[in-house]
Homo-oligomer: A and B are copies of this chain.
Amino acid sequence: MPGNSFGKALVLTTFGESHGTAVGGIIDGLPSCLEIDVPFIQAELNRRKPGLDFFSSPRVEEDKVEILSGLFEGNSTGAPIAFIVYNQDQKSTDYDHLIDAFRPSHADFTWEKKFKIRDPRGGGRTSARETLARVAGGALAKLFLQTKNILINATICQIGEFSIRDSSSHLLPKEILVFLEQLKTEGDTTGGVISCTISGVPAGLGEPVFDKLHADLGKAMLGINSVKGFEIGSGFRGASMKGSEHNDLFVNDNGIIKTLTNHSGGIQGGISNGEEICFRVAFKPVSTLMKAQQTVNASGEPVIIPGKGRHDVCVVPRALPIVEAMAALVIADHLLRST
């Protein structure tokens, strides 16, 4: 049973490899009569583009999205919407030295074990390029959520050991820029944490006991490349609190029932309570290094992987639109499941 579809009422199915013909997907279940703002979808894709700053990969592509179906005169018809981004940059020779070697902490080894074959060009299906289809699908979900005044906002709250307080700024603090530049010089990489908030979600979304809203958000985030952790509301910090501190007391705020605090992160018993949904996602450091690493090849022989190939020093800035896209897919799916 394959795993390239996501969602139950709004289903995104994706395809494509880093150096194949194209990446893309089909979104099925989007309501009809929705105005589809294609430039918005393109703008979302541009947010995840590599090469926009010094600490991400130098590979620059057009990544121009085309809608292939499901629209009539600019509106969704209720039929599946297929979209495609053709791959422009297919210098597959860059990766020839990797065909037999298992890159450390990449999926080369596990993919080989599972499928007995793999597309070694640029990581194939395991490339971050796969997330293009998530962002395009998520942009379509966002267009639907916007009609319900639901807004999603992801910000960086940690890079390496540096916390970021003022997440409203899109400029990284100077100390972090220095840190990233130094990593680049060393040929090394780092991880980080993204915080995401969703406002405007009505109370009542989520399907206990297994498809709780935060369980689906967690699955969505953990399915993104490099993600190692997810927490909702108080998260791991909540484990050390007392119940009397942690409980979110209900109050009547001019006729609307609200909570005084939001340790629940906007979800109680797996169902949204109308407060802002907030969660955090941990990313490991990028596995591809610019320095040589010891590993083995498919025959089990020790080999050295040279520090070569395109890569980001830190994936977190480019992951912001991906986190938002997956969150949008989950919220839209649950909106459609519960209506």
Interface string of A6-46 (1 = CB under 8 A from B): 10111101111100111111101100110000000000000
Q: Can you identify 27 A-B contacts, CB atoms within 8 angstroms?
A: A1-B337, A4-B79, A14-B209, A16-B68, A16-B69, A17-B77, A33-B116, A68-B84, A69-B125, A78-B114, A79-B125, A106-B269, A107-B271, A110-B273, A130-B209, A158-B239, A189-B244, A191-B238, A191-B239, A219-B222, A223-B270, A228-B232, A228-B236, A229-B236, A236-B236, A244-B291, A245-B285
Knowing that A110-B267, A230-B231, A243-B287 touch, tell me 6 more A-B residue pairs with CB under 8 angstroms. A6-B210, A16-B69, A21-B67, A75-B117, A77-B118, A105-B263
Chain B residue nearest to A267 (CB atoms) is B110
Chain B residue nearest to A7 (CB atoms) is B210
Q: How large is the interface on A (under 10, 10 to 19, 20 to 34, 35 or more residues)?
A: 35 or more
A250 touches B104 (CB 8 A): yes
A320, CB-defined interface residue at 8 Å: no
Determine how close the nearest CB of chain B comes to the CB of A163; give it in whole angstroms. 10
A61, CB-defined interface residue at 8 Å: no
Chain B residue nearest to A316 (CB atoms) is B239
A149, CB-defined interface residue at 8 Å: no
Determine how close the nearest CB of chain B comes to the CB of A2; give it in whole angstroms. 4
A138, CB-defined interface residue at 8 Å: no
Determine how close the nearest CB of chain B comes to the CB of A117; give it in whole angstroms. 5
Q: How far is the CA of A84 from the CA of B4 in the complex (A)?
A: 18
User: Of A32, A208, A235, which is in contact with the most chain B CB atoms at under 10 Å from its CB?
Assistant: A208
B209 touches A114 (CB 8 A): no
A21 touches B68 (CB 8 A): yes
